């Protein structure tokens, strides 16, 4: 009788062990198969439908303002001049701009032989609402292109940037 109980206990342990192994395999398989879906839905919830906003630009006083009209971008970059040159603010209009999903590309008109180009992505920042600073970010490369008036040769300075949107309290114009 004791032998029968031992044999029964042994079979139960073996079955329980097999069940646990199968359960662990199923859990691992489910995690592997469902992980891309979870990541994709997380990315979709962070997708930017409209990137229209005012952004900080290369220096503290410079701004970039973008109006996103179904992927066609309009707007301008306002650049303060060094004090020794002038107290004027130059406004470079965006003459060609597009957004395709999160990819953003634009360039401005030329003023005094200089223009700006941007290529990168738009993504959600740390702000939770549109009125908060850093609600949106433009991450990519800004090219400052200077054209020599005599030779028409371009000189390009490239800056890796993380341009954050203004919060409502930061916008004195609004």
pLDDT digits (tens, 9 = 90+) for 110-140: 999 999 999 999 999 999 998 999 999 999 9
The reply to whether 41 and 57 lie within a common domain is no
Query: First and final CA of the chain: distance in angstroms?
Result: 89
Mean pLDDT across 151-161: 96
Range of the domain at 160: 53-170
**Could you tell me the strand order of the sheet in which 136-147 lies?**
53-56, 63-69, 72-80, 89-100, 103-108, 114-124, 136-147, 154-164
pLDDT of residue 44: 43
The reply to whether 57 and 73 lie within a common domain is yes
The reply to whether 17 and 65 lie within a common domain is no
The reply to whether 11 and 71 lie within a common domain is no
Residue 15 has pLDDT above 70, yes or no: no
Nearest to 134 by CA among 174, 161, 162: 162
Q: In which band, very low, low, confident or very high, does the pLDDT at 40 lie, cut at 50, 70 and 90?
A: very low
The reply to whether 37 and 116 lie within a common domain is no
Specify the residue for token string 């890796």: 160
The reply to whether 59 and 110 lie within a common domain is yes
Domain count, the chain: 2
Give 91 or 22, the one with higher predicted confidence: 91
pTM over 0.85: no
Give 3 or 64, the one with higher predicted confidence: 64
pLDDT of residue 81: 85
Checking DSSP bridges between strand 53-56 and strand 154-164, what pairing results, if any?
A: unpaired
The reply to whether 76 and 125 lie within a common domain is yes
The reply to whether 105 and 40 lie within a common domain is no
The reply to whether 118 and 147 lie within a common domain is yes
């Amino acid at each position: 009788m004791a032998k029968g109980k031992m044999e029964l206990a042994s079979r139960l342990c073996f079955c329980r062990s097999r069940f646990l192994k199968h359960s662990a395999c199923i859990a691992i398989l489910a995690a592997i198969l469902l992980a891309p879906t979870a990541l994709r839905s997380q990315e979709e919830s962070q997708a930017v439908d409209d990137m229209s906003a005012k952004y900080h630009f290369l220096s503290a006083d410079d701004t970039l303002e973008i109006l996103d009209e179904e992927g066609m971008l309009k707007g301008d970059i306002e650049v303060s001049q060094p004090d020794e040159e002038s107290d004027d603010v130059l406004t470079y209009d965006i003459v060609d701009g597009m957004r395709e999903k999160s990819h953003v590309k634009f360039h401005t008109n030329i003023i005094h032989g200089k223009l700006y180009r941007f290529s990168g992505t738009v993504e959600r920042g740390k702000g939770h609402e549109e009125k908060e600073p850093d609600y949106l970010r433009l991450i990519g490369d800004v090219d400052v292109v200077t054209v020599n008036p005599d030779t028409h040769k371009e000189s390009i300075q490239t800056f890796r940037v993380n341009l954050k949107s203004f919060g409502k309290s930061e916008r004195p114009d609004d």
